[in-house]
Amino acid sequence: MKYYGGIEAGGTKFVCAVSDENFEIVAETSIPTTTPEETLEHVFAFFDQYELVAMGVGSFGPIGIDPTKDTYGYVLATPKKGWAQYDFLGNLKEHYPGLPFAWTTDVNAAAYGEIKQGAAQGKNSCVYLTVGTGIGGGVVVNGEIFSGISHPEMGHIHVKRHPDDTFVGTCPYHNDCLEGLAAGPSLEGRTGIKGQDLPENHPIWDIQAYYIAQALMSYTLILAPEIIILGGGVMNQDHLLLKIRQQFVDQMNGYMETPEASEYIVRWGLPNKSGITGCLLLAADAAAKV
C-alpha cells in the first residue's frame, strides 16, 4: 500500500493527514501554527511515523510558485510572525530528501479537492472562494490548478460600494477591497458583534452578499468557470448563500449567460476537507510524475 501525505498549512493551524492510495485518511492531526521551526517540528514528528511516496502542500500565502525564482517554495509577505520569506518547501524537502512534493496555495488545493471529489466533480473548471478571516480564491482550469506569474489573489479585488455602507474596511493593504469589506473581521468591525452571533435578519448580511456576489460576477466575467464553490466559516449559512445568488443574478442583469444560480454558485462539497483532500490528491499527482 502507498501512503500520501498532505499538509493544509493555514495561518492558524496546520491540518496534516496521511492517506492510502484510495485517499482514505489513515491518520490526521491538527497543529497550531506558531513559529516555523516549532510548527515543523510537530509536522515532522507526525509524518516521520509513515513511509510516504509523496507529499502535497497547500499553504497560506502569498507563496512563491515560480520554479525559476529563488523564492520558489517560500511563504512571502505574510503578516504571520516568523513566516515572511520563510523557505517552507525547502525545509520540508531537507527533512524528506528525494520525496516528491506538490506545492500550491491552500485555496488552490481546496479548488482541486472540490473538482476531483467535491461539489465541482465532473467539471473542467471551477473557482473556489473561501470567506473567513480573510477571503481567498483558488482556480482550476482544464482540470489543473491555474496560475500565472503568481497564484490568484482574488480576495483583494476592489468592489463597488454598497450605498448603505460607509465602513472604512479592514485590509491593511487596500482598506476597502473585497477582503476589507466582506471578510469576517468586517462584520465585527461594523457591528461590534462577531459574525457567528449576528442574527439572520441583520441588514449587514445584505451588504456582505452584495460584495461577494459582485466578486463572483467579476470572476465570471474574467474566468467564466463552470461552477463557483463557496467555502469557509462565514458560508455555513443558508440565508447568506441565497442572498448571494439573488444578488449575482440582479447584478449580472443577464449580461453573460451562466448556469442557473442554484447550480452555478454552490457550497463546498467537502466541508472543512476541501483543502486537505486536494493536498492528498496533489501528492498522488506528484508521485505519478516521478
256 binds a second copy (CB under 8 A): yes
Closer to a second copy by CB, 130 or 258: give it: 258
Closer to a second copy by CB, 208 or 214: give it: 214
45, 77, 84, 288: which one binds a second copy (CB under 8 A):
77
Name the phi and psi angles at 207, rounded to 5: -65, -45
Q: Which stretch binds a second copy (CB under 8 A): 1-9, 38-46, 172-180, 200-208?
A: 172-180
Query: Kind and range of the H or E element at 131?
Result: strand 126-131
DSSP tag of 83? T
106, 114, 176, 285: which one binds a second copy (CB under 8 A):
176
Site string for a second copy, 84-123 (x = CB under 8 A): ----------------------------------------
Q: How many CB atoms lie within 10 A of CB 280?
A: 35
Q: How many CB atoms lie within 10 A of CB 52?
A: 20
Closer to a second copy by CB, 156 or 202: give it: 156
225 binds a second copy (CB under 8 A): yes
161 binds a second copy (CB under 8 A): yes
138, 152, 231, 232: which one binds a second copy (CB under 8 A):
152
Binding residue count for a second copy, defined by CB under 8 A: 43
Closer to a second copy by CB, 31 or 63: give it: 63
273 binds a second copy (CB under 8 A): no
Beta bridge partners of 16: 7, 29
Determine the Cα angle at 170 with ends 169 and 175, to 5°.
60
224 binds a second copy (CB under 8 A): yes
Closer to a second copy by CB, 8 or 165: give it: 165
Cα–Cα distance, 17 to 20 (Å, whole number): 10
Secondary structure of residue 26 in the 3-state scheme: strand
105, 130, 258, 274: which one binds a second copy (CB under 8 A):
258
150 binds a second copy (CB under 8 A): yes
Site string for a second copy, 25-64 (x = CB under 8 A): -------------------------------------x--
Cα–Cα distance, 248 to 97 (Å, whole number): 48
Give the neighbor-by-neighbor strand order of the sheet with 126-131.
144-145, 135-141, 126-131, 228-231, 265-267
91, 218, 236, 246: which one binds a second copy (CB under 8 A):
218
Q: How far is CA 21 from CA 75, 88, 288, in A?
A: 29, 25, 11
Q: Are strands 3-9 and 126-131 parallel, antiparallel or unpaired?
A: unpaired
Secondary structure of residue 66 in the 3-state scheme: coil
Q: Which stretch binds a second copy (CB under 8 A): 15-23, 49-57, 197-205, 215-223?
A: 215-223
Alpha helices in 224-269 (DSSP H): 238-252, 261-264
Name the phi and psi angles at 248, rounded to 5: -60, -45
DSSP tag of 154? G
Give min distance, CB of 125 to a second copy, in A: 5
Residues that bind a second copy (CB under 8 A): 62, 76-77, 125, 137, 139, 141, 146-154, 156-161, 173-174, 176, 214, 217-219, 221-226, 251, 253-259
